[in-house]
Amino acid sequence: MKDIIPTVKIVNYAGVRSIKDGMKSNAYSEVIREKKPKWIRISANQNNRSFELIKERTKNLKLSTVCEEAKCPNLSECWSRGTATFMVMGDTCTRACQFCSVNTGNPKGWLDKDEPKKIAKTVQEMGIRYVVLTCVTRDDLSDGGAQHFAETVNAIKAVDENIEVEVLTSDFDGDQSAINTIVNSPIKVFAQNIETVERLTHPIRDPRAGYKKTMEVLKHAKEINENIITKSSIILGLGESEQEIYQTFEDLRKYEVDIVTLGQYLRPTLNHHPIDRWVTPEEFEIYRKKGLEYGFLEVVSGPMVRSSYRAERALELNNAGL
């Protein structure tokens, strides 16, 4: 039996202390890393100007991308196409979900007040027409960071009102006023990820997150503005059953969620939850077709799909999200 991997504590450029990759040492590390099947392949195209520009800009301006922080397998592909998902409010999350590799800690109210303008400038310089913004959960802030998030949206629209903005938010602990702040900003898509089926919500998600809480967030967003597109994502391979996936589809459609994405769980480190199984491409195609039967406008489903993957194409509403 292998030794348990130690906890790694770090301090970022702003002096915020955190647990690297979000997980303390635990017994999961005794479960050996699962061998990837042949259909799990990660492209590594890092030799073009778009990739270098994003890397350079985010590093110099101390901006965070979920592409890096969450160890997204599509980073090379997306950056090489000149797209990136910016993660606002820093690189440290106050929660610790068992599937996520974002650092976890308590920023104690820290925010980069210039971040909205930095992101807007980067978007403008890169010529991005469709921007995806996500965030770490900030339970240390009274509004969960909603005002800062909305300021970032407004800063982007200020440089070019024709740029479309999709937001993937935290649950703001169910605070409706915070959700109002986001939904009333000039966004095209509002997303909050359900992540997994109800039975597996705990221990997979942080205890402060919740299946019903996420559903209520999505419901409230649609109630505020029926014209925005709402979206959620399900990670597969954590132990869910086919029937539980379909029940989640039903629950999401109950609250008029428009788009759902499904992708394979990839274990970030050995301290994270082990993979239960590898879902085949054929199964993902079955779930895609089944999701459309439930009434979603778009179902983006595949082993390498992540919630923001080729997000702009999902708006074509012809299931061309891949």
Q: What's the mean pLDDT in 50-71?
A: 60
Looking at the predicted structure, is the pLDDT value of residue 34 above 60? yes
Is 319 a domain residue? Answer: no
pTM of the predicted model as reported, rounded to 2 decimal places: 0.90
3-class secondary-structure state, position 271: coil
Q: How many domains is the chain partitioned into structurally?
A: 1
Is 227 a domain residue? Answer: yes
Q: What is the maximum alpha-carbon separation in the chain?
A: 57
Are 255 and 221 within 8 A, CB to CB?
Answer: no
Strands 85-88 and 130-135: parallel
Q: pLDDT (tens digit, 9 = 90+) per residue, 80-117? A: 555 567 889 999 999 999 999 999 999 999 999 999 99
Write the CATH number for 208.
3.20.20.70
Is 322 a domain residue? Answer: no
Strands 17-19 and 9-11: antiparallel
Are 126 and 82 within 8 A, CB to CB?
Answer: yes
For residue 1, what pLDDT is reported? 46
Model confidence band, residue 123 (pLDDT cutoffs 50, 70, 90): confident
Is 72 a domain residue? Answer: yes
- What 8-state DSSP symbol labels residue 35? P
Mean pLDDT, the chain, whole residue set:
88
Percent of the chain with pLDDT over 70: 82
Q: Which structural domain range is residue 295 located in?
A: 9-33+40-314
Contacts of 291 (CB under 8 A, 6+ apart): 249, 260, 262, 299, 301
Are 322 and 300 within 8 A, CB to CB?
Answer: yes
First to last CA, the chain: 40
Closest CA relative to residue 124, chosen from 161, 153, 154, 159: 159
Contacts of 225 (CB under 8 A, 6+ apart): 183, 184
Is 2 a domain residue? Answer: no
Is 215 a domain residue? Answer: yes
What are the tokens at 156? 């982007």
Alpha carbons 213 and 77: distance in angstroms, whole number: 33
Percent of the chain with pLDDT over 90: 70
Closest CA relative to residue 290, chosen from 275, 282, 202, 137: 282
Alpha carbons 108 and 124: distance in angstroms, whole number: 31
For residue 122, what pLDDT is reported? 87
